[in-house]
Chains A and B, each alone.
Chain A
């Protein structure tokens, strides 16, 4: 055990496959993983003249990631079609070979940054690798991840990896936050996962919502159109900037909208995209509250007309046997999740609620404290409207480092999970040994 701990202090490695960013690296990085965008560029139909300049193995693999992308972007003919985001919805379909190739390339890119140095150490016998995936990832995704890493290990002559394990992203958050019983709500770009945890994830209690930062982008796009910026609304970058700067979470949507309509000067905002392009929301300033509200409660009637006109799509989807609810509001999701766990631990689960993920990053501009709130307060308000008794018992907090807590938790998990725990299909826990 002593030897194992010592070994793992140097040779645990974690990968967090986020929808937006891939975070990776060994335990020796301590608090901060390396990070690149979760995307890959296919080197299809390259001009012959360029092909001669590309290293042969890169050409054979046919896909590049990370800082290799800018090198080739201007040479690939159809850059738009060939630049792909494999984890856009958190889940990769079984037959989506292009996405699997990018995932493999992301992992290889990470290892090739660290392996050469580690391989030189005489006591290095392969990493203990922890892969963090969405709690809703179907079994075939876990299997394929193992397979991909087995292939990579072979490419490094079987010296790269000793064993692999998989962890749910929200479980990793709980570990990083040192909370043994809690509920984690992880709101990323594509979906929102609510996972109750008591010495491990309680699968019966998982609730999934089919919305996230992406829906806030969708409503921002419609607001830009309604404000006379039809052309800019087509630009995803512009939409992202306007969302982050203009979006507000209302304490109560109806009251906030009423106040903003009565006093547009107070709520109007100018967002500078670059030195030439500026967006101003004045008559439509009240719509700023829709951007935040949609994450928490898309059932509100203001969204109905957008949905009826087909300008906004929010619907349930089924992946495997899991339903991702489109419209379920955040309070109902939380209550549903808590009700699904055994009664005797419900109290403990409620006492610590941890929010993580970029889609919860809302702040309150000075002067608007009476109408706008942050994510923690929004959830408190929503629950107390529904169940006042429950609200007083909830303790909700936001993680310090929303981007890195998954990776950090995965590292701690890899360090602490003993190497003699072999993979168990039922508990979905333990190490797969590759040799």
Chain B
């Protein structure tokens, strides 16, 4: 399906909703909606793969901060392949269009599948920002005096005490681990001697994936002595 037709269908639909076309690129439309600038990237891919979608998304993200809203328009057939979370987390919306219904029912030729979360562009609004800044400054000053008021010394002492306790617990646990592994070793040796005695030979300690491999001897000899 050609991009040109899709573009016409979308332009028509936006015009019916009172949006004004500001710029038209090969695959892009920029529209004016009241005070807002809306960016629309058009794809004709009916079955977009995930990596294709990520490519499109990163193309739409490139100038995201220049527009209040940004969308990607896909053919309606792509509906099931759109991962809503991915778009929402990037503040990009999705339109679905259907060229075949453009003539019979122009109103339903396009639908908004995922709305674009609008962002405020930095224009004017300086007073607002200054007001917020002085509020934040005030909060910081309050926080600072609150922190000064805290009794750091007592806190530090508590922390030291806790650390002390933790160390004691750790060494008790280590001690326990030692004892357990000693016990386990006794168990294993007992089992091994039982096995070896039936074979009547020594060794027999190696796990199967190390045994019976000529490299073990070859490499051992590099240490200058036998095994």
Whether, in the assembled complex, B81 has its beta carbon less than 8 Å from a beta carbon of chain A, the answer is yes
List B residues at the A interface (Cβ < 8 Å).
45, 47, 49-52, 54-55, 58, 61, 81, 85-86, 89-90, 173-174, 177-178, 181, 205, 207, 209-210, 212-216, 218-220, 222-224, 227
Question: With A122-B174, A199-B218, A413-B219 in contact, do A235 and B47 touch (Cβ < 8 Å)?
Answer: no
Verify A120–B218 contact, CB threshold 8 A: no
Q: Which 8 pairs between the two chains have the least Cβ-Cβ distance?
A: A418-B223, A416-B219, A416-B216, A74-B89, A175-B215, A235-B49, A276-B47, A178-B213
Verify A235–B215 contact, CB threshold 8 A: no
Contacts of A412 in B (CB 8 A): 209-210, 213, 215-216
Verify A421–B223 contact, CB threshold 8 A: yes
Distance between Cα atoms of A5 and B49 in the complex (Å)? 52
How many positions in chain A have a CB within 8 Å of any CB in the partner chain?
Answer: 41
Contacts of B90 in A (CB 8 A): 74, 77
Verify B47–A277 contact, CB threshold 8 A: yes
Verify B218–A180 contact, CB threshold 8 A: yes
Residues of chain A in range 395-435 having any CB-CB distance to chain B below 8 Å = 408, 412-413, 415-421, 429
Q: How far is the CB of A318 from chain B (nearest CB, A)?
A: 33
Question: With A30-B209, A412-B209 in contact, do A418 and B222 touch (Cβ < 8 Å)?
Answer: yes
Distance between Cα atoms of A75 and B89 in the complex (Å)? 7
Contacts of B224 in A (CB 8 A): 418, 420
Whether, in the assembled complex, A80 has its beta carbon less than 8 Å from a beta carbon of chain B, the answer is yes
Question: With A180-B218, A416-B215 in contact, do A79 and B58 touch (Cβ < 8 Å)?
Answer: yes
Verify A79–B178 contact, CB threshold 8 A: no
Whether, in the assembled complex, A218 has its beta carbon less than 8 Å from a beta carbon of chain B, the answer is no
Verify A78–B58 contact, CB threshold 8 A: yes
Whether, in the assembled complex, A121 has its beta carbon less than 8 Å from a beta carbon of chain B, the answer is yes
Whether, in the assembled complex, A58 has its beta carbon less than 8 Å from a beta carbon of chain B, the answer is no
Q: How far is the CB of A206 from chain B (nearest CB, A)?
A: 19
Q: How far is the CB of B63 from chain A (nearest CB, A)?
A: 12
Verify A78–B81 contact, CB threshold 8 A: no
Q: How far is the CB of B36 from chain A (nearest CB, A)?
A: 21
Distance between Cα atoms of A120 and B25 in the complex (Å)? 63
Contacts of A236 in B (CB 8 A): 51
